[in-house]
Structure 1
């Protein structure tokens, strides 16, 4: 029997504030990532700094925020009141220090726990804060949370406010880069939630006059709106809503105190319930909830006193009360929607008529599908008991109390050999595998009936749990993992078509990715380098010369599980699938998947890039 480990006072140690953050970064900023996902840590760092500047604007101090990101360095400058000069160091380096514990100074703030900028400081290789007020300026510089320099200028002509600069630590954030698309989306949300605020990002201005109405107009084209956007505002609540003519699924954008609650929470559940209740009472008909909400595109923002979120990254609201003398979140939202949405429908009979026609159309479609849907669900239930297609993981995206829920990933693979390699090398806690038997069906132009009739689509829909809405999505990252050849590219295109046609919000909300896998392995007796491009291969050959061994991977099935673990672990490389705002989904699908073969052929010829495998002397 092995000797028991002694448990003494020597085993107990207290970490200082920065050590704890650096040792357990996931507790403070969610997953780390490399910047390929909108919820990766580098964006949370930016958001934590930005939230303080937004809170200044909300309190009536400073109408402009300037942000610059060049390479790894991030700079955020506001023109608010400035941090009290004697507390500049404490505010960014002492836990439980901040100005938001007393709700007189910050009434309905996002950051209430005094952790935000401390986490940014601790997780940055370089961090500098500078505050200017009363013609004086104080600054402090840190490396990995350690103070290295501070100074006070007694007389300065600088404008008041706070300037924060930081470089995320590459010991923690591996091979990262900021993607402007994700930053821009975050900044647009901030201006929609704060009409009148100007944010300047790398010289580009963002501004909104109409709040959530502008957000919806950005996300749905005017000719796809069933009726003009309904825009309702109250003291602590704002709502914008329309229905899409073409979209199958429900689409929600929800916010609490300026925070984008991507996983919803009590406020979103109450809002979905309130829409149904109000519509039923207005028409005097007990319509099905799913028929009322089908194709809805909507946004809700509320302000809550001392909100309780279900994680440090604040993606799901747990609060049941609005705070102070106000009623519960559910009652408050229900009462507001009942009063103002009902009034709107009475005053706008044209909208009311269009909405009712849409509900009746959804009802007809549901009844037509009901028989096949029941058969498909029964089939999916039986399959799930012995489903060879899905090898599930233990943690799921909805498990907000598990701090690894943001890492949950479903790999969609082709064939047994590829899925076998991934299955053997995956993290069984957070990574699941769904195996396709071949090329999926081209579903362009087909009705949703095909999702239930086609066994693979039905099982994929069931695995993701997105039939009704995105709210119960089981995996944060949905990753298409196919060979980097013509057939693999075709499968990618067919799967993207499936999501665009029936579940576009999976792409809109940043959940769909393409897995990058290495094309080459270059090694000698001491070192192995995996290369994802010709340039990387040439650099590896140069580094490992004189004569390294070079292997060209033709397919995922050729890569052994022992090697595959490197490509789906902390060094995973993902390419996000993003929508071009300028081209509507219908036009996109029609061009790439429609019957315009000659036009598409011309496009391919004009944009064809040929890469040849050159056998060099070094081989």
Structure 2
């Protein structure tokens, strides 16, 4: 009998809990990543530990959480009730073990399935948990989920609570580093949703007095707001909203039980619907939903009994019921907004008037654009049949059930040689390429009309699929891949201007990046090292010894497809494009793209200083 036809008990194997997590980490924490993106796995590990601390705060135990990140080691300490001492090891290493199955203790908890800290444990090269309660302490240490040291109970005078330290495993999270901007944003969300909670991160305090109102103010410049933030609170719901003077699209921040549901869900759909219905009823006019919601900036938070999410990373709410005998999510949100927002508009006629003017303006703009939009759509439709600009990938961000959706990436390149290299070396499942023809138009100060009239912008908007709603975005990462010279820098600025002007939430929500490409290749017969800076070049020369061959890359087109795969694969280096809240979008655009040419030239020269020095040195 041939070997292949044998199928016995020996062929069947059960993975233990940690093997399964390590083999299929995406099922538990989404994508892996290196820390350059806000939804990379290392931040999800921190979030899983934090969620347990937050649940303690919600239960009234412990008002302060302390976090320290030194290098790759993360330590989180809460002052909650502490894990029951006899269960310290089980809680972090046995599946389906946790305190949240008893819904009396955790009525509106986030982590219901008890997987969180087990995943952190399994995916860390070092993991330590210590619980203190009743003047006693118990701790245990693990490596990749394996228990290596369990200490006996000891007497202590320390305050009660739980302390978790971990180092994400470098064999799983390659070349990672924590970015404080992403961590601070996550921590701010925690304090907005939990007024009264103090989080101390590496010595810096985070605290919120006014919940979601603070969130909108911290994420936007108040000069960009059309009217003062409307802030409404109920027993299980809180919302804050305003309209922007500058941005075209809708922007939402949504939360369930303290969880940032970046993909929205039933509560966000109900909110968007309820705002439209209430405003129509208030003015007694059947305005178009898109005109009412155009330029809205809003945050909504809901508390639900035993929420059902559409994935382990809890980015989209699937629940239709509030639980505990309450009505459906839709009815609850509709009733609350129908009463509270209506009352607010009656009491604040100035806001009501500004809002109505904004709706009428949106209506006028929509009608002006309708003809040109129709033409543009027909052009885009024809183009998409033979769209030479876009070489698409197979997996997109909108495919909720696909565990690689967060890896979906669109590279925006300039010129045929660069786009050819990326196209040949990319991962066709998750990486798409959009190639520009020369420099894009400077869209500074132009109206939305230009997006439809300019073929390149129209096709880019169609590729991203963000014309109707930001929720339909097809790629999680939009990467500008241009040469590291003056022309490349200018193209970057023109593209950033386009996104800032028409789709700023792509930047606000951390979807836009600049691709770092190596400046040098240093190699001998045995090894090749790609270097992204002078310092890396020096280190490579020292490492390879002798007289290695050094090549300076001047442009992306010079890099062969065989080599390019190293720069856009596992070792990809991305610089996130971030907005500085202190500067309004208008003033930011004016600085970069307005008439202050000397300032801008100085900015470009300063930012290219490293590049120019290297060229001169050579």
Tell me which residue corresponds to 1:38: 38
Tell me which residue corresponds to 1:611: 613
Please give the alpha-carbon distance, in whole angstroms, between the structure 2 residues aligned to 1:533 and 1:160: 47
Tell me which residue corresponds to 1:169: 169
8 Å contact 2:246–2:585 — kept in the other structure?
Answer: no
For structure 2, the residue ranges without an aligned partner over 5 or more in a row are none
SS at match of 1:141: strand
Please give the alpha-carbon distance, in whole angstroms, between the structure 2 residues aligned to 1:164 and 1:14: 29
Tell me which residue corresponds to 2:486: 486
Please give the alpha-carbon distance, in whole angstroms, between the structure 2 residues aligned to 1:555 and 1:154: 62
After superposition, the C-alpha distances for 1:354-406 in whole angstroms (9 at most, x for unaligned) are 11110001101111111111111111111111111111111110111111111
Cα distance change, pair 308–481 in 1 and its aligned pair in 2 (3 A):
same
Tell me which residue corresponds to 1:540: 540
SS at match of 2:530: strand
Correspondence 1:417 to 2:417: yes
8 Å contact 2:221–2:582 — kept in the other structure?
Answer: no
Tell me which residue corresponds to 1:495: 495
Cα distance change, pair 441–7 in 1 and its aligned pair in 2 (3 A):
farther
1:419 Cα deviation after fit: 1.1
Q: Which region of structure 1 is more displaced relative to structure 2, 540-549 or 481-490?
A: 540-549
Please give the alpha-carbon distance, in whole angstroms, between the structure 2 residues aligned to 1:39 and 1:603: 30
8 Å contact 2:223–2:584 — kept in the other structure?
Answer: no
1:335 Cα deviation after fit: 1.4
1:249 Cα deviation after fit: 1.2
Tell me which residue corresponds to 2:144: 144
Give the 5 Å matches for 1:270-289: 270-289=270-289
Give the 5 Å matches for 1:205-284: 205-284=205-284
Tell me which residue corresponds to 2:558: 558
SS at match of 2:157: coil
Relative to the length of structure 1, the TM-score reads 0.97
Please give the alpha-carbon distance, in whole angstroms, between the structure 1 residues aligned to 2:445 and 2:559: 37
Cα distance change, pair 229–151 in 1 and its aligned pair in 2 (3 A):
same
Cα distance change, pair 424–3 in 1 and its aligned pair in 2 (3 A):
farther
SS at match of 2:166: strand
Please give the alpha-carbon distance, in whole angstroms, between the structure 2 residues aligned to 1:544 and 1:220: 49
Cα distance change, pair 105–205 in 1 and its aligned pair in 2 (3 A):
same
Please give the alpha-carbon distance, in whole angstroms, between the structure 1 residues aligned to 2:400 and 2:362: 32
After superposition, the C-alpha distances for 1:551-593 in whole angstroms (9 at most, x for unaligned) are 2222212222221111111111111001112222111111111
Tell me which residue corresponds to 1:77: 77
Tell me which residue corresponds to 2:49: 49
Please give the alpha-carbon distance, in whole angstroms, between the structure 1 residues aligned to 2:554 and 2:423: 19
1:607 Cα deviation after fit: 7.0
SS at match of 1:111: coil
Cα distance change, pair 496–606 in 1 and its aligned pair in 2 (3 A):
closer
Give the 5 Å matches for 1:3-402: 6-402=6-402
1:452 Cα deviation after fit: 0.6
1:605 Cα deviation after fit: 6.3
Cα distance change, pair 230–442 in 1 and its aligned pair in 2 (3 A):
same
Please give the alpha-carbon distance, in whole angstroms, between the structure 2 residues aligned to 1:409 and 1:570: 13
SS at match of 1:172: coil
Please give the alpha-carbon distance, in whole angstroms, between the structure 1 residues aligned to 2:4 and 2:14: 24
Tell me which residue corresponds to 2:569: 569
SS at match of 1:611: helix
8 Å contact 1:263–1:316 — kept in the other structure?
Answer: yes
Please give the alpha-carbon distance, in whole angstroms, between the structure 1 residues aligned to 2:7 and 2:374: 57
1:468 Cα deviation after fit: 2.4
Cα distance change, pair 560–544 in 1 and its aligned pair in 2 (3 A):
same
8 Å contact 2:486–2:608 — kept in the other structure?
Answer: no
Tell me which residue corresponds to 1:448: 448
8 Å contact 2:489–2:604 — kept in the other structure?
Answer: no
Cα distance change, pair 422–156 in 1 and its aligned pair in 2 (3 A):
same
Please give the alpha-carbon distance, in whole angstroms, between the structure 2 residues aligned to 1:252 and 1:319: 19
Relative to the length of structure 2, the TM-score reads 0.97
Please give the alpha-carbon distance, in whole angstroms, between the structure 2 residues aligned to 1:411 and 1:608: 22
Please give the alpha-carbon distance, in whole angstroms, between the structure 1 residues aligned to 2:581 and 2:210: 19
1:327 Cα deviation after fit: 1.7
Please give the alpha-carbon distance, in whole angstroms, between the structure 1 residues aligned to 2:526 and 2:600: 48
SS at match of 1:543: helix
1:594 Cα deviation after fit: 0.4
Q: Which region of structure 1 is more displaced relative to structure 2, 528-537 or 130-139?
A: 528-537
Cα distance change, pair 156–568 in 1 and its aligned pair in 2 (3 A):
same
Q: Which region of structure 1 is more displaced relative to structure 2, 519-528 or 155-164?
A: 519-528
1:274 Cα deviation after fit: 0.9
SS at match of 2:151: strand
1:4 Cα deviation after fit: 5.0
1:182 Cα deviation after fit: 0.4
Please give the alpha-carbon distance, in whole angstroms, between the structure 2 residues aligned to 1:606 and 1:513: 20
1:11 Cα deviation after fit: 2.6
8 Å contact 1:407–1:477 — kept in the other structure?
Answer: yes
1:9 Cα deviation after fit: 2.9
After superposition, the C-alpha distances for 1:86-138 in whole angstroms (9 at most, x for unaligned) are 00000000011000111111011110111000010111111110100000001
Tell me which residue corresponds to 2:507: 507
For structure 1, the residue ranges without an aligned partner over 5 or more in a row are none
Q: Which region of structure 1 is more displaced relative to structure 2, 541-550 or 87-96?
A: 541-550
8 Å contact 1:136–1:152 — kept in the other structure?
Answer: no
After superposition, the C-alpha distances for 1:525-566 in whole angstroms (9 at most, x for unaligned) are 211111111211121122222122222222212222221111
Q: Which region of structure 1 is more displaced relative to structure 2, 527-536 or 398-407?
A: 527-536
Cα distance change, pair 6–331 in 1 and its aligned pair in 2 (3 A):
same
SS at match of 2:613: coil
Q: CA RMSD in A?
A: 1.5
1:353 Cα deviation after fit: 1.0
1:615 Cα deviation after fit: 7.0
Please give the alpha-carbon distance, in whole angstroms, between the structure 2 residues aligned to 1:371 and 1:614: 53
SS at match of 1:376: helix
Please give the alpha-carbon distance, in whole angstroms, between the structure 2 residues aligned to 1:389 and 1:451: 16
